[in-house]
A = this chain, B = another copy of it.
Amino acid sequence: MDTHLQSSLDQATENIGRDRPTTKREQRAASIEALLTKALTLFITQGYHATTVEEIAQSADLTKGAVYFYFKSKANVLKALLDRTEELTVEPTIAAMEAAGKDPVDRLNAFVRSQSVIGAEKTEYMLLAILMSAEFNGSGDEIETRLTDLMARMENALRETVKVGQESGAFRNGIGPDELASVIMATNKGCYVEWYMRGGDLKGHDFARAFRDFVFDGVAART
Contacts from A to B (Cβ < 8 Å) = 45-47, 49-50, 131, 133-135, 137-139, 172, 175-176, 178-180, 182-183, 185-191, 193-195, 197-198, 201-203, 206-207, 209-211, 213-215, 217-218, 220
Separation of A33 and B46 alpha carbons in the complex (Å): 30
| CB atoms of A187 and B214 under 8 A apart | yes
How many copies of this chain sit in the oligomeric assembly? 4
Q: A190-B187, A202-B179, A203-B179 are in contact. Are A197 and B133 (CB under 8 A)?
A: yes
Q: List 22 A-B contacts (CB under 8 A).
A: A46-B139, A47-B47, A131-B134, A133-B197, A175-B206, A175-B209, A176-B206, A178-B201, A178-B203, A179-B207, A182-B194, A183-B187, A183-B210, A183-B214, A185-B194, A186-B190, A186-B195, A187-B191, A190-B191, A190-B193, A214-B215, A214-B217
- Residues on the B chain within 8 Å of A131, using CB: 134
| CB atoms of B194 and A178 under 8 A apart | no
Known: A45-B137, A46-B138, A137-B197. 7 other contacts (CB 8 A): A134-B193, A182-B194, A186-B187, A186-B195, A187-B191, A189-B194, A214-B217
- Residues on the B chain within 8 Å of A218, using CB: 210, 213-214, 217-218
Separation of A191 and B179 alpha carbons in the complex (Å): 10
